[in-house]
Amino acid sequence: MSASAASRVHFRTCNLCEAMCGLRIELEGDRITSIRGDEEDPFSRGHICPKALALEDLHKDPDRLRHPMRRTATGWEQVSWDEALDDVARRLHAIQKQHGKDAVGAYLGNPNVHNLGALMFGPGLVRALRSRNRFSATSVDQLPHQFAAHFMFGHQLLVPIPDIDRTRYMLVMGANPVASNGSLMTAPDVRARLRAIQQRGGRVVVVDPRRTETARIADTHVFIRPGTDALALLALLHVAVVENTPRASHLSAHLHGLDTVRELARDFTPERVAPHTGVPADVLRGLARDFLAAEAAVCYGRMGLSTQPFGSLCQWLINVLNAVTGNLDREGGAMFTQPAFDIIGGPRAMGVGPGSFGRWKSRVRGLPEFGGELPSAVLAEEILTPGEGRIRALLTVAGNPVLSTPNGSQLERALGELDFMVSIDPYLNETTRHAHYILPPVSPLERSHYDLVFHALAVRNTAKYSPPLFEPGPDARHDWQIALALQHRLEALRRGRPSVRATLKYQALSRLGPERLLDVGLRLGPHGTRFHPLKQGLSLKKLRESPHGVDLGALKPCLLKRFQTKDRRIHLAPEPLVADMKRLRERFPEGAPEVRDGELLLIGRRHLRDNNSWMHNVPSLLKGKPRCTLMVHPEDAARLGLAEGVDATVTSRVGEVTVPVTVTDDVMPGVVSLPHGYGHGRKGIRMKVATEHAGTSINDLTDDRALDALSGNAAFSGTPVRVRRAEPRAAATPAA
Ligand X SMILES: Nc1nc2c(c(=O)[nH]1)N[C@H]1C(S)=C(S)[C@@H](COP(=O)(O)OP(=O)(O)OC[C@H]3O[C@@H](n4cnc5c(=O)[nH]c(N)nc54)[C@H](O)[C@@H]3O)O[C@H]1N2
Q: Which of residues 269-308 bind Mo ion (CB under 5 A)?
A: none
Nearer to Mo ion, 110 or 617 (CB): 110
Per partner kind, with CB cut-offs from 5 to 8 A, the member of ligand SF4, ligand X, Mo ion, none near residue 84 is: none
Contact with ligand SF4 (CB under 6 A): which of 21, 383, 393, 631?
21
Rounded to a whole number of angstroms, the minimum distance from the CB of residue 512 to ligand X is: 20
DSSP per-residue codes, 263-296:
HHHTT--HHHHHHHH---HHHHHHHHHHHHHSSS
Q: Tell me the Ramachandran region of residue 645: left when phi exceeds 0, alpha when psi lies from -120 to 50, beta otherwise.
A: left
Nearer to Mo ion, 141 or 229 (CB): 141
564, 153 Cβ separation under 8 angstroms:
yes
Contact with Mo ion (CB under 5 A): which of 38, 141, 189, 580?
141
Per partner kind, with CB cut-offs from 5 to 8 A, the member of Mo ion, ligand SF4, ligand X, none near residue 21 is: ligand SF4
Q: Tell me the Ramachandran region of residue 703: left when phi exceeds 0, alpha when psi lies from -120 to 50, beta otherwise.
A: beta
32 contacts ligand SF4 (rule: CB under 6 A): no
DSSP per-residue codes, 582-609:
HHHHHHS-SSPPP--TT-EEEE----TT
Contact with ligand X (CB under 6 A): which of 303, 428, 522, 555?
303
459 contacts ligand SF4 (rule: CB under 6 A): no
Helix-helix angle 116-129:479-495, to 10 degrees: 20
State whether the Cα torsion 256-262-265-270 is positive or negative: positive
Rounded to a whole number of angstroms, the minimum distance from the CB of residue 48 to ligand SF4 is: 4
Per partner kind, with CB cut-offs from 5 to 8 A, the member of ligand SF4, Mo ion, ligand X, none near residue 310 is: none
The distance between the two most distant Cα atoms of the chain, rounded to a whole number of Å, is 84
Cβ within 8 Å of residue 710, ≥6 positions away: 147, 311, 312, 313, 576, 577, 580, 583
Nearer to ligand SF4, 18 or 666 (CB): 18
399 contacts ligand X (rule: CB under 6 A): yes
Nearer to Mo ion, 141 or 666 (CB): 141
Cβ within 8 Å of residue 344, ≥6 positions away: 155, 157, 158, 351, 352, 456, 562, 564
Output Rg (C-alpha) for the chain, integer angstroms. 25
Where does this chain touch ligand X (CB under 6 A) — which range of 192-200, 269-277, 527-535, 710-718?
Answer: 710-718
457, 184 Cβ separation under 8 angstroms:
yes
What 3 state SS string does 98-110 have?
A: HHCHHHEEEEECH
717 contacts ligand X (rule: CB under 6 A): yes
52, 74 Cβ separation under 8 angstroms:
no
Chain length of the chain: 736
Per partner kind, with CB cut-offs from 5 to 8 A, the member of ligand SF4, ligand X, Mo ion, none near residue 488 is: none
Per partner kind, with CB cut-offs from 5 to 8 A, the member of Mo ion, ligand X, ligand SF4, none near residue 227 is: ligand X
Nearer to ligand X, 96 or 611 (CB): 611
Cα separation, 599 vs 197, in Å, equals 39
Q: Which of residues 515-554 bind Mo ion (CB under 5 A)?
A: none
Cα separation, 616 vs 621, in Å, equals 7
Go through 39-67 and write b for each residue having 16 or more CB atoms within 10 A of its CB, e for each that does not.
eebbbbeebbbebbbbbbbbbebebbbeb
End-to-end CA, the chain: 64
Nearer to ligand X, 43 or 223 (CB): 223
Q: Which of 144, 143, 146, 158 has its CA nearest to residue 564?
A: 158
DSSP per-residue codes, 345-392:
TS-GGGS-----EEEEE-TTT-PEEETTB--GGGHHHHHHS-STT---
Rounded to a whole number of angstroms, the minimum distance from the CB of residue 414 to ligand X is: 15
Q: Which of residues 41-100 bind ligand SF4 (CB under 6 A)?
A: 48-49, 51-52
How many chain residues are in contact with ligand SF4, going by CB under 6 A?
A: 12
Binding mask 151-190 for ligand SF4 (x = CB under 6 A): ------------------------------x------x--
Q: Tell me the Ramachandran region of residue 166: left when phi exceeds 0, alpha when psi lies from -120 to 50, beta otherwise.
A: alpha
DSSP H/E element including 149: helix 143-153
Per partner kind, with CB cut-offs from 5 to 8 A, the member of Mo ion, ligand SF4, ligand X, none near residue 376 is: none
Rounded to a whole number of angstroms, the minimum distance from the CB of residue 592 to ligand SF4 is: 43
Nearer to ligand X, 523 or 606 (CB): 606
Rounded to a whole number of angstroms, the minimum distance from the CB of residue 97 to ligand X is: 27
Rounded to a whole number of angstroms, the minimum distance from the CB of residue 454 to ligand SF4 is: 9
707, 714 Cβ separation under 8 angstroms:
yes
Rounded to a whole number of angstroms, the minimum distance from the CB of residue 619 to Mo ion is: 24
Q: Which of residues 1-20 bind ligand SF4 (CB under 6 A)?
A: 14, 16-17, 19-20
Rounded to a whole number of angstroms, the minimum distance from the CB of residue 478 to ligand SF4 is: 21
Per partner kind, with CB cut-offs from 5 to 8 A, the member of Mo ion, ligand X, ligand SF4, none near residue 676 is: ligand X
Rounded to a whole number of angstroms, the minimum distance from the CB of residue 26 to ligand SF4 is: 16
Cα separation, 203 vs 625, in Å, equals 33
Contact with ligand X (CB under 6 A): which of 21, 187, 298, 397?
397
Cα separation, 637 vs 663, in Å, equals 7
Rounded to a whole number of angstroms, the minimum distance from the CB of residue 325 to ligand SF4 is: 31
278 contacts ligand X (rule: CB under 6 A): no
666 contacts Mo ion (rule: CB under 5 A): no
Type of residue at 225 = R
Rounded to a whole number of angstroms, the minimum distance from the CB of residue 612 to ligand SF4 is: 12
Q: How many helices (H) and strands (E) does the chain have?
A: 24, 28
Where does this chain touch Mo ion (CB under 5 A) — which range of 34-42, 138-146, 398-406, 575-583?
Answer: 138-146
Go through 82-113 and write b for each residue having 16 or more CB atoms within 10 A of its CB, e for each that does not.
eebbebbbebbbebbeebeebbbbbbbbbbbb
Per CB under 6 A, residues contacting ligand SF4 are 14, 16-17, 19-21, 48-49, 51-52, 181, 188
Per CB under 6 A, residues contacting ligand X are 17-18, 109-111, 115, 137, 140-141, 173-177, 179-181, 183, 207-210, 212, 224, 226-227, 229, 302-305, 308, 397-401, 404, 424-427, 429, 441, 479, 603-608, 610-614, 676-677, 698-699, 702, 716-718
